């Protein structure tokens, strides 16, 4: 029949199209990176690259995690600066430091020289928008001789060595920097692993860099798959598709074999931020009532399935020095009774915000809603995707926000977080806190050069902030990393900055 | 309204259709280009966040991003620049990553398109299974009773993301038959294609199954059977006849999966177009978003034209020559079973809602978390220790109410646009491939987060299946002999609408709408993350499913309850209307049947209404 033959022709015409799509589809997702040589680590990471492995974006963390790049320094277990590309350093005067470089080479074969370091730091300083780690400092790097770099800052910067450990300030070879100001870490880092191929936002393959100054890595390479969905990540590990899966959501953690489940205290604290600038929480007694009503420990075993610690303050167990130096908050306002709350709010609704990006936060908001309603508040939730609500948050359109925040930012130093979130001119001051004593305490901590004293002052600032009840810490999160039983040497880092290094390998 | 046969005005109609496509496409692209400016969300801030989540949003940083992207030039300069690059094969660079957009979008499109083809295969297989009984019996003239619709309603009500989670866990992790995620080869296509294709197949199959008895009831089929033609031959022609009306449904049901399968793409970690577009939209990264939108528009138009060509090929010259009888279902009894099923579902739902309403849906008890069903909690508790029965009961009215209102609006809009055939066709093609999330983003940009926003957003895109169906049915109906006769007897448009067009179109469209009811519930809930719809902790069925999805494996009862409720609703809606239609057949249809018989007996025309006589005895293309 005529129509049948027409249909046949159509089908025949479609067949190559079909095949073409599939092949290109398979290529696009990089099937060839699978099943490489034996011993390669297969890793499932959560956050896909956003800027094609540019160190000036969130990709920096990822480059650090996979040991692709290094800075002049690194952070040790206790969060102090440790040697990396610089084997030693000293502070010449409050604003000047000199760093002695070790003998190392870039993955493209060129040697790491003082000039290369200066070039890298200059590019980071000139990057637009300016990397966060450099946002409150102006530094100038100079090559003193072939393996000595002098770095001077405009104002005294006691945490400069910590700052330089940030993967954003990774030292890349000259080849990495394009004329338009962008940088790419593909094949230009100094770490034990070298990115050989990046396929969009789905896969990457890394090979061992044999010229690494710290010796050859034990694993011949890494195959990275980005899996944004937590359940899918857990499934990939359970199905044996990957050897390491990071950030297993608490809802999935119980499903993993106990031997593959590794929990790490994280530097993330979940808290309830109260808007002190406008709305009902301008009244300190209402804030105090909210603080007393809210019980974060109820969340630990329920929503977090045990993968969290009840909050002790802004800084949890992952910040090892915090517990010993904690100062009790004194002089807090007296909490309003439920009857007082009702009369003071005059029927005004408490607008409670939470964002959907982290699954636990909306659930937390619902628990908190019940706790707050018991204390006399009338609560209405607003739950949305973070970017959809950020402008409203910063504009003070909510009374309270359930928030998950990293308390040690890229400097590895707690002051940056306190300054941006709680000081009067902080740019991320969602609590809209304007308190002279807090400002003063944070400033004092920022200016302190001595490590122990700085930590003491940070804890004093924490007490000042908690006194205002602008923030009610709920829990300190734990991260669950899924690691197959035949993998050894995975780094469980509370700062989530490292994961795989020279010693990580398959048994 | 034109009631001429299609053949006489092919050229102007093509013109108008292309005009409709062009207008709709341009409007959509412009709306997308305006998105950041409409929403009032500073694109500099969202782009900065996408690049570096912990970056402080200082004014200097934002100014740097704004300058880098040239945001101050405004939306039109950007749109013009982007359009200008297209002829050269450039679609700009991503605002977030700075990489060229075109390779990304084409790569993702190829992946999604391949997946869609896989889903299409599954859809066809499932649809074939669903309608196999009718084809077999019908071709042998043994189709005395309509078949139960329960299986179809159950399958069509299965939430795709739930099916995906289930398949990934069972076949991916437990049994290890297929990879649980990724896109590495044909094996990784199986599970997602099943998750997407089974509900679609049930829907398409359900529609096909409904129109088949009418085809078998046509005089030519009777004649052929009497002549002793092989059942296979009768079946083939009946299928051609019925398929022509169902084919347009493939566009909004299957082809739309290229951009609209975000949830399944996430669960299986497939680097598809839906996720790319969603990520770009969240970051307000315009170049990839615009390019993805354009790709979807082109896909819609090409697929629409292809489907139209297929329909024409199936129906042959009969359609053009106005020699086509419209398909009208015989009043075969649906069987007692269907009626009982409707009653049982109604009772079950009623029991669910009444017992649920007596309980507290909001009481959180973190100690009673994820409890399995027991006397205290007949359906178990969710992750916060809330009683699931209570949440189902309290959510019922709102869920079903909103879904019904949205469906009604969509059906109405679909009918209207389906009648405006030529312009409507272009618009339908362009809109039917648009993911609901995009409509949601445009809605939030204009209205801000609101309780009715989700309904509005779904109405914006949800009408396409009905428009496509109505247009296809109307085209056939207009090409039928009795319409021409009515016209020649001086019937006005109102009369035609009331007595010919609506009776022909409404029942199948309603059936389609009811089959899609569960999907509507789920789509409404899927926009919650944009702040559209009722805010938590309000109970709502779609939300119950999505908020409990992570616990599928740990506590299956948390999703079982809501999923069963959706299935009950679907079965009730479909079988209930079937039973009602059988008990009280529309007066119009009854009179037509009797007059039809009269007309055949007298061999003439009765009372201003000719019956489908002249063309009735031939197969459409035989």
Q: What is the mean pLDDT of residues B357-362?
A: 90
Pair A129, A213 in one domain? yes
Contact A25 B61 (CB under 8 A): no
Chain A CB within 8 Å of residue B66 CB: no
**DSSP per-residue string spanning B215-241:** HHTSHHHHHHHHHT--HHHHHHHHHHH
B 561-600 residues with CB below 8 A of A?
A: none
Nearest CA-CA partner of B383 in B559, B567, B169, B540: B559
Q: Cα–Cα distance between B481 and B46 in angstroms, integer?
A: 59
Q: Which of A89, A82, A87, A99 is nearest to A142 (CA)?
A: A99
Q: Hey, are the CB atoms on A383 and B535 less than 8 Å from each other?
A: yes
In a domain, A5, yes or no: no
Per DSSP, B172 falls in state I
| Domain shared by A286 and A213, yes or no | no
ipTM (interface predicted TM): 0.87
Cβ <8 Å between B96 and A50? yes
A295 touches B: beta carbon within 8 Å: no
Domain boundaries, chain B: 14-88, 101-315, 336-580
Among candidate residues A143, A101, A91, A94, the one with its CA nearest the CA of residue A122: A143
Is B225 at the interface with chain A, CB within 8 A? Answer: no
The average pLDDT across B60-82 equals: 87
- For the four alpha carbons of B85, B89, B94 and B100, in that order, the dihedral sign comes to negative
**Residue B321: how many CB atoms within 10 A of its CB?**
13
Report yes or no on A260 lying in a domain. Answer: no
Predicted confidence (pLDDT) per residue in B504-532, tens digit: 788 888 888 988 999 999 999 888 888 88
pLDDT at A123: 93
Structure tokens at B534: 């009722």
* The total number of residues written for chain B in this structure: 622
Let me know if residue A189 belongs to a domain: yes
Are residues B614 and B323 in contact, defined by beta-carbon separation less than 8 angstroms?
yes
Q: Give the pLDDT score at B497.
A: 77
At B621 the pLDDT is: 37
CATH assignment at residue A432: 3.10.105.10
Beta-ladder partners of A199: A203
> How far is the alpha carbon of A360 from chain B, nearest alpha carbon, in Å?
10
| A100 and A192 co-located in one domain | yes
Give how far B531 is from chain A: nearest CA, Å. 5
- Give the lowest-confidence range in A295-309, B396-410, B566-580: B566-580
Domain of residue A284 covers 267-478
Q: Is the pLDDT at B390 greater than 60, yes or no?
A: yes
| φ, ψ of residue A41 in degrees (nearest 5) | -85, 135
A162 and A277 assigned to the same domain: no
Shortest Cα distance, chain B CAs vs residue A160, angstroms: 19
Mean pLDDT of chain B: 83
pLDDT interval class at B331 (50, 70, 90): low
Give the pLDDT score at B147: 60
Q: Is the pTM of this model over 0.90?
A: no
Candidates A31, A254, A363; nearest CB to B185: A31
Residues A362 and A216 in one domain: no
Query: Using a CB-CB distance cutoff of 8 angstroms, which residues of chain A are in contact with residue B262?
Result: none
Instruction: Identify the DSSP state of B370.
Output: T
Q: Has residue A391 been placed in a domain?
A: yes
User: Which pLDDT does position B325 carry in this prediction?
Assistant: 65
Q: Do B551 and A428 touch (CB under 8 A)?
A: no
Can you tell me the distance from the alpha carbon of B90 to that of B86, in angstroms, rounded to the nearest whole number? 5
- The answer to whether residue A155 sits within a structural domain is yes
Measured in whole angstroms, the distance separating CA A124 from the mean position of its chain's CA atoms is: 19
Give every CB contact of residue B154 below 8 A, 6+ residues apart in sequence: B202, B567, B570, B571
**pLDDT value of position B450:** 84
Tell me how far apart the alpha carbons of residues A495 and A407 are, in angstroms, rounded to a whole number.
Answer: 9
Q: Do B180 and A128 touch (CB under 8 A)?
A: no
Cβ neighbours of B594 (radius 10 Å): 11
Task: Examine residue A237 and state whether it is found in any structural domain, yes or no.
Answer: no
CB–CB contact B97 A51 (8 Å): yes
Take residue B355 and report the two structure tokens written for it: 């017992």
A258 assigned to some structural domain: no
d(CA B192, CA A137): 50
Dist CA A426 CA A429 (whole Å): 5
Please check whether residues A421 and A491 belong to one and the same domain: no
Asked whether residue B164 carries a pLDDT value surpassing 70, the answer given is yes
Residues in chain A predicted with pLDDT less than 70, given as ranges, are 1-37
Identify the residue whose tokens are 């990393």. Answer: A481
Count: domains in chain A? 2
Question: A427 CB near a chain B CB, below 8 Å?
Answer: yes
| Domains B101-315 and B336-580 agree in fold | yes
Q: Does A253 touch chain B (CB under 8 A)?
A: no
Separation CA B555–CA A153 (nearest Å): 56
Residues 79-98 of A with CB under 8 A from B: none
- Whether residue B165 and residue A201 make contact (CB cut-off 8 A), yes or no, is no
**Coil, helix or strand for A17?**
helix
Confidence at residue B13, expressed as pLDDT on a 0 to 100 scale:
63
In a domain, A398, yes or no: yes
Per-residue burial over A86-103, b = 16 or more CB atoms within 10 Å of its CB, e = otherwise: beebeeeeebbbbbbbee
Cβ within 8 Å, pair B172-A239:
yes
Q: How many CB atoms lie within 10 A of CB B367?
A: 9
C-beta atoms of B176 and A363 within 8 A:
no
Whether residue B7 is predicted with pLDDT greater than 50 in this model: the reply is no
> Same structural domain for residues A296 and A169?
no
Residues B412-462 pLDDT 10s: 999 998 887 667 788 888 898 899 989 998 888 888 888 888 999 999 999
Cβ B49–A390 below 8 Å, yes or no? yes
User: Which of B45, B60, B181 is opposite residue A232, by nearest beta carbon?
Assistant: B181
What is the predicted pLDDT for the residue at B244?
84
User: What mean pLDDT do residues B70-81 have?
Assistant: 87
pLDDT > 60? residue B583: no
* Nearest CA among B510, B521, B512, B511 for reference residue B566: B521
**Residue burial B134-153, b: 16+ Cβ < 10 Å; e: rest:** bbebbbebebeebbbbbbbb
Going by the DSSP 8-state scheme, the letter that residue A176 receives in this structure is G
Instruction: Give pLDDT tens digits for A123-166.
Output: 999 888 888 888 888 889 999 999 999 999 998 888 899 899 99
pLDDT of residue B330: 61
Partner residue facing A3 (CB), from B46, B313, B383: B313
Put simply, the answer to whether A6 touches B40 (Cβ < 8 Å) is no
- pLDDT score recorded for residue A408: 84
Which chain B residue lies closest to A226 (C-alpha atoms)?
B269
The B residues from 283 to 312 touching A (CB cutoff 8 Å) are: 283-284, 310
Chain B residues within an 8 Å CB radius of A427: 56-58
Region B382-387 average pLDDT = 91
**Contact at CB, B314 and A251, closer than 8 angstroms:** no
CA dist., res. B43 & res. B47, Å (int) = 6
Residue A99's CATH number: 3.40.190.10
Query: pLDDT band at B326, cuts 50/70/90?
Result: low
DSSP alpha helices (H): ranges in B169-285? 187-216, 219-227, 231-246, 250, 257-260, 262-267, 273-282
Q: Is the peptide bond before B202 cis (omega within 30 degrees of 0)?
A: no
List of long-range contacts for B52-56, beta carbons under 8 Å, 24+ apart: B52/A50, B52/A56, B52/A57, B52/A58, B52/A131, B52/A132, B53/A58, B54/A58, B54/A132, B54/A406, B54/A409, B54/A410, B55/A129, B55/A132, B56/A132, B56/A135, B56/A420, B56/A427, B56/A428
Checking if the pLDDT of B149 tops 90, the result is no
Chain A residues close to B363, C-beta within 8 Å:
370
Smallest Cα distance from B163 to chain A, Å: 14
Res A134: pLDDT: 87
Nearest to A330 by CA among A466, A431, A437, A443: A466
Looking at residue A427, its pLDDT comes to 86
Q: Which positions 341-400 of B are in contact with A (Cβ < 8 Å)?
A: 362-364, 366-367, 369, 383-385
CATH class assigned to B336-580: mainly alpha
pLDDT at residue B75 in the model: 86
Rounded to the nearest angstrom, the minimum Cα separation between A438 and chain B is 20
Strands of B114-191 (E only): list them.
none
Q: Look at A387 and B53 and tell me if their CB atoms are within 8 Å.
A: no
Residues of B in contact with A183 (CB under 8 A): none
d(CA B565, CA B540): 11
What band does B579 get if pLDDT is binned at 50, 70 and 90?
low
Q: Tokens for A39?
A: 């011993």
Closest residue in B to A296 (Cα–Cα) = B366
Query: Collapsing DSSP states into helix, strand and coil, what is residue B7?
Result: helix
Between B113 and B615, where is the model more confident?
A: B113
> Nearest residue on chain B to A28, judged by CA atoms?
B107
Q: Which fold has domain B101-315?
A: MetI-like fold (1.10.3720)
**CA A377 – CA A281 distance, rounded (Å):** 11
Q: Which residues of chain A does B41 touch, with a Cβ-Cβ cutoff of 8 Å?
A: 387-388, 390-391
């Amino acid at each position: 029949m005529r129509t049948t033959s027409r249909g046949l022709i159509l089908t025949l015409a479609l067949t190559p199209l079909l095949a073409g799509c599939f092949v290109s589809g398979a290529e696009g997702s990089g099937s060839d990176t699978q099943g490489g040589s034996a011993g390669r680590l297969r890793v499932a990471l959560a956050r896909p690259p956003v800027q094609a492995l540019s160190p000036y974006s969130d990709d920096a963390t990822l480059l650090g995690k996979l040991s692709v790049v290094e800075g002049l320094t690194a952070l040790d277990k206790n969060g102090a600066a440790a040697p990396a590309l610089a084997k030693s350093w000293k502070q010449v005067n409050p604003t000047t430091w000199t760093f002695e470089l070790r003998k190392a080479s870039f993955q493209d074969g060129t040697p790491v020289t003082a000039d290369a370091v200066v070039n890298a730091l200059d590019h980071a300083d000139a990057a637009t928008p300016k990397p966060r780690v450099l946002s409150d400092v102006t530094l100038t790097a100079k090559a003193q001789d072939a393996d000595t770099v002098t770095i001077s800052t405009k104002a005294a910067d006691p945490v400069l060595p910590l700052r330089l450990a940030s993967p954003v300030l990774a030292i890349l070879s000259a080849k990495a920097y394009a004329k338009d100001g962008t940088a790419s870490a593909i094949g230009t880092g100094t770490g034990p692993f070298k990115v050989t191929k990046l396929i969009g936002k789905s896969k990457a393959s890394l090979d061992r860099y044999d010229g690494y100054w710290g010796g050859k890595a034990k694993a011949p390479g890494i195959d990275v798959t980005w899996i944004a969905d937590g359940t899918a990540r857990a499934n990939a590990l359970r199905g044996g598709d990957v050897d390491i899966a990071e950030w297993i959501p608490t809802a999935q953690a119980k499903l993993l074999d106990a031997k593959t489940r590794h929990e790490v205290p994280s530097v993330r604290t979940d808290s309830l931020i109260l808007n002190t600038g406008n709305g009902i929480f301008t009244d300190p007694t209402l804030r105090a009532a909210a603080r007393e009503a809210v019980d974060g420990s109820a969340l630990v075993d329920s929503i977090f399935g045990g993968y969290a610690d009840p909050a002790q303050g802004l800084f949890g167990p992952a910040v090892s020095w915090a517990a010993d130096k904690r100062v009790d908050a004194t002089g807090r306002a007296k909490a309003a009774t439920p009857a007082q709350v009702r009369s003071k709010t005059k029927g005004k609704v408490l607008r409670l915000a939470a964002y959907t990006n982290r699954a636990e936060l909306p659930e937390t908001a619902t628990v908190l809603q019940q706790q707050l309603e018991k204390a006399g508040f009338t609560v209405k939730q607003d739950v949305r995707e973070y970017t959809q609500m950020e402008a409203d948050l910063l504009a003070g359109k909510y009374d309270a926000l359930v928030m998950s925040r990293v308390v040690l930012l890229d400097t590895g130093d707690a002051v940056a977080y306190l300054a941006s979130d709680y000081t009067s001119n902080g740019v991320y001051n969602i609590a809209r806190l304007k308190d002279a004593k807090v400002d003063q305490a944070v400033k004092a901590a920022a200016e302190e050069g001595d490590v122990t004293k700085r930590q003491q002052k940070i804890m004093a600032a924490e007490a000042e902030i908690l006194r205002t009840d602008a923030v009610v810490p709920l829990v300190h999160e734990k991260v669950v990393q899924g690691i197959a039983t035949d993998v050894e040497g995975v780094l469980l880092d509370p700062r989530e900055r490292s994961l795989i290094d020279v010693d990580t390998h398959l048994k | 309204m034109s009631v001429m046969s299609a053949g006489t005005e092919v050229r102007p109609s093509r013109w108008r259709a292309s005009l409709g496509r062009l207008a709709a496409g341009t409007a959509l692209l412009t709306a997308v280009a305006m998105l950041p400016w409409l929403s009032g969300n500073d694109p500099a801030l969202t782009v900065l966040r996408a690049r570096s989540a912990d970056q402080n949003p200082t004014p200097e940083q934002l100014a740097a991003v704004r300058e880098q992207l040239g945001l101050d030039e405004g939306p039109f300069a950007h749109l013009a620049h982007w359009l200008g690059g297209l002829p050269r094969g450039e679609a700009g660079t991503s605002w977030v990553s700075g990489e060229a957009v075109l390779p990304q979008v084409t790569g993702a499109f190829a992946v999604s398109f391949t997946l869609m083809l896989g889903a299409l295969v599954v859809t066809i297989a499932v649809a074939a299974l669903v309608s196999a009984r009718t084809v077999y019996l019908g071709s042998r003239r043994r189709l005395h009773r309509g078949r139960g619709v329960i299986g179809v309603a159950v399958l069509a009500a299965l939430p795709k993301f739930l099916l995906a989670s289930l398949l990934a866990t069972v076949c991916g992790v437990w049994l290890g038959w297929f990879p649980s995620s990724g896109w590495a080869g044909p094996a990784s296509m199986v599970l997602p294609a099943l998750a997407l294709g089974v509900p679609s197949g049930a829907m398409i199959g359900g529609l096909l199954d409904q129109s088949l008895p009418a085809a078998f009831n046509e005089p030519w089929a009777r004649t052929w059977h009497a002549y002793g033609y092989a059942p296979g031959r009768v079946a083939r022609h009946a299928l051609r006849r019925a398929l022509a009306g169902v084919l347009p449904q493939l566009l909004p049901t299957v082809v739309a999966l290229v951009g609209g399968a975000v949830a399944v793409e996430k669960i299986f970690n497939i680097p598809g177009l839906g996720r790319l577009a969603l990520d770009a939209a969240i970051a307000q990264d315009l170049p990839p978003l615009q390019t993805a939108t354009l790709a979807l528009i082109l896909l819609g138009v090409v697929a629409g034209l292809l489907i139209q060509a297929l329909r024409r090929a199936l129906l042959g010259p009969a359609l053009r020559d106005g020699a086509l009888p419209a398909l009208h279902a015989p009043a075969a009894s649906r069987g007692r079973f269907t009626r009982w099923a409707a009653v049982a579902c109604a009772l079950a739902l009623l029991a669910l809602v009444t017992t649920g309403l007596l309980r507290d849906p909001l009481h959180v008890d973190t100690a009673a978390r994820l409890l399995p069903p027991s006397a205290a909690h007949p359906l178990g508790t969710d992750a916060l220790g809330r009683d699931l029965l209570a949440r189902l009961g309290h959510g019922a009215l709102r869920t079903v109410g909103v879904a019904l209102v949205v469906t009604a609006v969509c059906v109405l809009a679909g009918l209207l646009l389906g009648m405006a055939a030529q312009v409507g066709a272009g618009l339908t093609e362009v809109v039917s491939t648009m993911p609901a999330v995009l409509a949601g983003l445009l809605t939030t940009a204009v209205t801000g987060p609101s309780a009715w926003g989700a309904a509005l957003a779904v109405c914006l895109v949800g009408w396409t299946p009905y428009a496509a169906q109505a247009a296809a049915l109307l085209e056939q109906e207009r090409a039928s002999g009795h319409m021409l006769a009515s016209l020649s007897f001086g019937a006005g448009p109102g009369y035609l609408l009331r007595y010919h067009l609506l009776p022909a179109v409404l029942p199948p469209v309603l059936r389609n709408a009811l089959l899609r009811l569960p999907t509507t519930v789920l789509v409404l809930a899927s926009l919650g993350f944009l702040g559209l719809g009722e805010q938590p902790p309000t109970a709502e069925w779609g939300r119950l499913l999505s908020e409990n999805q992570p616990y599928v494996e740990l506590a299956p009862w948390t999703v079982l309850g809501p999923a069963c409720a959706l299935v009950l609703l679907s079965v009730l809606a479909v079988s209930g209307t079937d039973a009602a239609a059988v008990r009280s057949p529309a007066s119009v249809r009854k009179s037509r049947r009797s007059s039809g018989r009269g007309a055949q007996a007298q061999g003439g025309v009765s009372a201003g209404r000719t019956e489908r006589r002249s063309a009735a005895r031939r197969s459409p293309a035989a």
